[in-house]
Structure 1
Amino acid sequence: MKAIELLNAKLTNDNIKTVYLINGYEAYLRSKVIEQLIGVIPSEQRSMNLGKFDLESDLLAAAVNDARSVPFFGERRITLISHPLFLTAVKSKKVPEQNIADLENYLKQPEPTTTLIIDLGNQKMDARKKISKLLKKVSVIVDCSALPEKKVQQLVTEQTKRNEFSFTEDALELLIKKTEANYSTIMNELPKLELAALQTKKITQSMVAELVPQTLEQNVFELSNLVLAEKNEQAMNLYHDLLLQHEEPLKLNAILIGQVRLLLQTLVLMKHGYAQGDIASVLKVHPYRVKLALQQAPHFSRTKLREIYLNLIKFEEQLKTSQQDPEKLFQLLLLGYLDYVTKKD
């Protein structure tokens, strides 16, 4: 079930299910889905009939016992579990060891008056595990994955309209660009924009430009464009600015490598007939990033992208092993002299 479907549904004590598994990239959607499910319990009953368990510190057995409890002066109990790393392939010594058998037994016969909500966050469930297979069988899986750009525009427009605000066309376009069509980010920025537009009720491009910060990824995306277009002076200036902002050279380079890798992968998949949605699904990246990659990739040959990718790998090696100034190394990378430095060292 898509998150939007659940959010549009009228949930009651009669039609709410006993087990929900929430998973996906969009944190805002996950929080709204949880809010919607909890909303089935009247607010005055929640202190007695809502149990929250963070498995980074709490025991799964305590959560299962809570789920087995009958509602106190009410019709339904809700038990919310977060950070269930036992469902993933992730191993961590920092979390307590969990007795998964308790949950397996519960799922075979859930309490009819309890709704168990498991928030998997953006983690990938390990489908090989017995508990994962059981959960897939008995739970309603709520998909909170990244939304397509058009859907984001629609939802944001509808939300602002409900709040009695509106966007100018160029303002919404800039907001989508600055947030990379990330629905969660946009919804977090919206109150600030609406406050700025309190008198006119119209959110303008200048408000978005001034109030919505550009992310590091966007700055590096711009940097990658300059590198690929061989606009060396502009690339050096931007790289210098990012270092002045105390960004780590290795971190900047890792994002650059990821961007060029995405272009390479997109170019290959394009030639095999993959569409935007298919590429996003295969590469497991946000659809908006794929849209931008599709616009860029045709302008470069696979050979050129491969050359830049390998040079960035060499640059990373130099950053890790050389005592030279990162800015000078980046300049050598742009000018094509990095091989000389590598051989010299």
Structure 2
Amino acid sequence: MKILQEDLKTGNFKHIYLLYGEEAYLVRQYRDRLRDSLCVEGDTMNTSVFSGKDIRPASLIDLSETMPFFAERRVIFVENSGFFKKSPEDLAAYLGELPETTYFIFVEEEVDKRGKMYKQVKKFGSVVEFKRQTDAVLMQWILGKLKKENKRITRPVMELFLDKTGTDMELITQELEKLLCYTMEKDVIEAADVEAICANQINGKIFDMVDAIGRKEQKKALDLYYDLLMLKEPAMRILYLVTRHFQILMQLRDMTGKGFDNKQMAAKAGVPEFAVRKYLGQAKSFSLAQLEEIVRASVQTDENIKTGQMADQLAVELLIISTMQG
């Protein structure tokens, strides 16, 4: 990320960037910063955006070969193409022969570092992975935002806030905006303010749901799922949060007894350090094999929904039931 920050500062840009990683908030932020730096506002003639799995590599190559129209650059954004899971040979080879006027910005959810596309971008451009940020980095980031609003907060209250939100920067931003509005007349943010505003019903209910699954309390787990649906939470977002939660438990369960301290566990699992003990307590309700199977089933459910094999709400409901079988 430091290299990209330097490129943005100096204006000396690579011709190819690949942005990916768990922290979607940062991926979007830096994608937009590249767009603002490389593209002329309103210039739709020389800025193109492609998205989805149906992009034809040949179309990208043809466009890349087209000279920009009364501009220095032609900038092509390609998002969630799947090219970095299954590399198209023609496009991968072409990345080493780009015209001086063409710039590619790839934004992907999944990346195979063994693939030719990844290796070509690394060779001829810049690969930037955005990982979950550490507690220390998040706290400094939040403090910076609060300072701009002339607000103060103690470390225990900050920890309470992060315990409510988790480490997702998008969610932190949303909850922080609500908290600032709530404390508009105050200089110091207190624990009561966080409890009042940042109840974060979503993550709390997900945690309780997983607790119920661990105790094989099917009715309670399903009731919590229906509550989330009543709160207008999309089934796909619930599935994402459930899958991520079980992935965290799986990682922590796997690290148990291997000499990792809480700080190392937190960094690897992407949770606040002070929340590790809570997650470890929950992970004890499952064997590592059970957690691995649940994660596999969650990924398969996601695929079944996206390919139209099952309706989203029903698919997630069946997944919750299946985790308590056997």
Could you state the TM-score of these two structures normalised by the residue count of structure 1? 0.66
Task: State the number of aligned residues.
Answer: 293
Partner of 2:33: 36
8 Å Cα contact 2:8-2:34 kept in structure 1: no
User: 1:242 is matched by which residue type in structure 2?
Assistant: L
1:213-292 alignment to 2 at 5 Å?
213-222=199-208, 242=224, 245=227, 266=252, 269-276=255-262, 278-279=264-265, 285-288=269-272, 292=275
Deviation track 1:138-196 (CA, whole Å, cap 9, x = no partner) reads 2211111111111111112113323x242422543332111112222112333333333
User: 2:270 is matched by which residue type in structure 1?
Assistant: H
8 Å Cα contact 1:21-1:118 kept in structure 2: yes
Gap runs ≥5 in structure 2: 231-235, 298-316
Could you tell me how far apart the structure 1 residues matched to 2:251 and 2:68 are?
52
8 Å Cα contact 2:39-2:47 kept in structure 1: no
Secondary structure of residue in 2 paired with 1:48: coil
Could you tell me how far apart the structure 1 residues matched to 2:22 and 2:283 are?
32
8 Å Cα contact 2:16-2:104 kept in structure 1: yes
Could you tell me how far apart the structure 1 residues matched to 2:58 and 2:239 are?
44
Partner of 1:20: 17
Is 1:208 equivalent to 2:194 in the alignment?
yes
Could you tell me how far apart the structure 2 residues matched to 1:258 and 1:192 are?
25
Partner of 2:138: 152
Is 1:293 equivalent to 2:276 in the alignment?
yes
Could you tell me how far apart the structure 1 residues matched to 2:176 and 2:78 are?
29
Deviation track 1:61-104 (CA, whole Å, cap 9, x = no partner) reads 33333333333333233211001213216xxxxxxxx9x34422
Task: State the Cα distance separating 1:257 from its structure 2 match.
Answer: 9.8
8 Å Cα contact 2:14-2:126 kept in structure 1: yes
Task: State the Cα distance separating 1:253 from its structure 2 match.
Answer: 11
Is 1:166 equivalent to 2:151 in the alignment?
yes
Pick from 38, 46, 67: which aligns with 1:70?
67
Task: State the Cα distance separating 1:293 from its structure 2 match.
Answer: 3.5
Could you tell me how far apart the structure 2 residues matched to 1:214 and 1:64 are?
45
Partner of 1:59: 56
Could you tell me how far apart the structure 1 residues matched to 2:259 and 2:176 are?
37
Could you state the TM-score of these two structures normalised by the residue count of structure 2? 0.69
Task: State the Cα distance separating 1:296 from its structure 2 match.
Answer: 5.6
Task: State the Cα distance separating 1:41 from its structure 2 match.
Answer: 3.4
> Identity over aligned residues, as a percent?
21
Q: Do the aligned partners of residues 57 and 143 (structure 1) sit closer, same or farther apart at CA in structure 2, a change above 3 Å counting?
A: same
Determine which structure has more spread, i.e. the larger CA radius of gyration.
1
8 Å Cα contact 1:87-1:131 kept in structure 2: yes
Pick from 92, 107, 116: which aligns with 1:130?
116
